[in-house]
Structure 1
């Protein structure tokens, strides 16, 4: 890649911050990593930092209650890709993370090789949730209605995905950052109740739009 990813690890446990740091380093060689141990530090860093490609956010952080931090971040920084990390693995909690707009959920019990694979998928613009948890559980709305919920820009991105274009190509053609494209893709997955690009493109093709 021409430029490295800018990634923030937000966790108040030093040992797990170190584990995430190691996993990110293995998943991508030229990542610029920064670490914070509270929501206050995180908000200050985001305000100073500018564009960040990925935030790995502990569910239980000083200064946050439940999903309040995630909800606030999605409101303040809608283009920021957020992945939740947690000692909790309950399906209901994972589903809540999906609903609040996380593009992934990584249990702290995840083995390092799987953690690396998860980060690889996420940095490529895909989502990653524990096996057995699917967005289909969130509801079974009609596919046309789900497609209708997309914004014009999201629909444009989905069309480009169906043409086989990469995030970098889409970003260039739309004159936006690659991080913005990733955020659009994440929103598309969530709204269509799909887990990856292939399923999103299939959903589009079912309406005759692709």
Structure 2
């Protein structure tokens, strides 16, 4: 099985090197890319639209739990994503699956597991550990709501969750302030939220350990 272009997104250089070494031993790799933050991931995907697979750590700088996975699935739904995480709680595995990952690899997994997962996903299958928790309808609803957002709206939402004002968001994203206002209005409507605070709580629900969001609703 040949893999033309692989992107490894993890903020630990030794781990990235170990993963690439493991894969080169059993898979025909072409070009490989390494990034250590969400901003670097965004730039790499802009510069390399032909990436075949992303191995994604959930805890990179700039990420809020599953936010980078949700963003990536919205921005580039054609690229399969395998989450690699040191947090292999069954609920985390299930949430990764529900938020669009094609596979999940615990960082403690042996080399052969990594190769097997990558090979399976590149063949069009999925690969998740057997101990995944039961499906959550609340997560399914959250994923469906977030999927309504455009990639730019998702970026604005993340800035809203960081507590930035429209003027600050405009500066950070290189947008006109009025454009940000339009995005925020659309975001609240699509997420069925009445305020920026409610929208920020939805983002908080993307944290791996979060069970939640607003009680009884998303």
Q: State the TM-score, normalized to the length of structure 2.
A: 0.59
User: What secondary structure does 1:18 align onto?
Assistant: helix
Q: How far apart, CA to CA, are the structure 1 residues paired with 2:46 and 2:105? A: 25
Show the counterpart of 2:101. 102
Pair 1:139–1:38, CA change in 2 (3 A): closer
Residue-by-residue CA offset, 1:100-153 (whole Å, 9 max, x unaligned): 10000100000112221222212211111113337xx3279xxxxxxxxxxxxx
Q: How many residues align?
A: 137
Deviation of 1:14 after TM superposition, in Å, equals 1.3
Deviation of 1:26 after TM superposition, in Å, equals 2.4
User: What secondary structure does 1:45 align onto?
Assistant: helix
Residue-by-residue CA offset, 1:41-82 (whole Å, 9 max, x unaligned): 110010111121100000100011101111111111111111
Unmatched 5+ stretches in structure 2? 138-218
Q: How far apart, CA to CA, are the structure 2 residues paired with 1:31 and 1:45? A: 16
Q: How does 1:52-201 map to 2 (within 5 A)?
A: 52-133=51-132, 137-138=134-135
Q: State the TM-score, normalized to the length of structure 1.
A: 0.61
Unmatched 5+ stretches in structure 1? 141-210
User: What secondary structure does 2:44 align onto?
Assistant: helix
* Larger radius of gyration between Structure 1 and Structure 2: 2
Show the counterpart of 1:35. 34
Q: Which stretch of structure 1 is more off in the superposition, 16-25 or 101-110?
A: 16-25
